Amino acid sequence: MDDKKVGFIGLGKYLPENRLTNKELEKIVDTTDDWIVTRTGIKERRIARDDEATSDMAVRAAKNALQNANLEPKDIDLIIVATITPDMFFPATACIVQNKLGANHAPAFDISVACSGFLYGVAIASQFVKSGIYKHVLLIAAEKMSSVTDWKDRSTCVLMGDGAGAAILSEVKEGGILSVHLGADGSKGDLLCMPAGGSRIPASMTTVEARLHFLKMQGNELFKRAVKIMAEAAQKVTEPLGLKGSDISLVIPHQANKRILNAVAKRMGIDPEEKLYLNIEKYGNMSAASSAVALCEAVEEDRVKKGDLILLDAFGAGLTWGAVLIKW
The residues that touch ligand COA, with contacts defined as CB under 6 A, are 31, 35-36, 39-40, 115, 154-155, 158, 192, 219-220, 222-223, 226, 256-257, 260, 285, 315-316
Whether 76 and 167 have beta carbons less than 8 Å apart is answered as: no
8 or 315: CB nearest ligand COA: 315
Q: How far is the CB of 112 from ligand COA (least distance, A)?
A: 14
Q: What is the spatial distance between Cα 123 and Cα 182, in angstroms, rounded to a whole number?
A: 8
Q: What is the spatial distance between Cα 9 and Cα 125, in angstroms, rounded to a whole number?
A: 13
* Catalytic annotation present for 285: yes
Q: Hey, what's the torsion of the CAs at 35, 40, 46, 47, to 10 degrees? A: -70
Whether 223 and 257 have beta carbons less than 8 Å apart is answered as: yes
Which phi and psi (to 5°) does residue 234 adopt?
Answer: -60, -45
Whether 324 and 312 have beta carbons less than 8 Å apart is answered as: yes
* Catalytic annotation present for 254: yes
Q: How far is the CB of 192 from ligand COA (least distance, A)?
A: 6
124 or 227: CB nearest ligand COA: 227
CA proximity to 180, closest of 249, 119, 96, 99: 119
Q: How far is the CB of 155 from ligand COA (least distance, A)?
A: 4
Q: How far is the CB of 33 from ligand COA (least distance, A)?
A: 10
Whether 6 and 172 have beta carbons less than 8 Å apart is answered as: yes
Residues 6+ apart with CB under 8 A from 12: 61, 62, 63, 64, 65, 66, 67, 68, 165, 166, 167, 296
197 or 219: CB nearest ligand COA: 219
Tell me which of 115, 181, 257, 296 is the catalytic residue.
Answer: 115
CB-based burial label for 54 (10 Å; 0-12, 13-18, 19+): buried
Q: Which secondary-structure segment (H or E) carries 110?
A: strand 108-111
Q: How far is the CB of 217 from ligand COA (least distance, A)?
A: 6
Q: Which secondary-structure segment (H or E) carries 64?
A: helix 54-69
Tell me which of 95, 254, 257, 296 is the catalytic residue.
Answer: 254
Q: What is the spatial distance between Cα 301 and Cα 62, in angstroms, rounded to a whole number?
A: 19
CB atoms within 10 A of CB 74: 12
109 or 223: CB nearest ligand COA: 223
The residue with its CB nearest to ligand COA is 219
Q: How far is the CB of 154 from ligand COA (least distance, A)?
A: 4
Q: What is the spatial distance between Cα 113 and Cα 54, in angstroms, rounded to a whole number?
A: 15
Q: How far is the CB of 283 from ligand COA (least distance, A)?
A: 13
Whether 99 and 143 have beta carbons less than 8 Å apart is answered as: no
134 or 315: CB nearest ligand COA: 315
Tell me which of 22, 157, 285, 296 is the catalytic residue.
Answer: 285
22 or 68: CB nearest ligand COA: 22
69 or 260: CB nearest ligand COA: 260
Residues annotated as part of the active site: 115, 254, 285
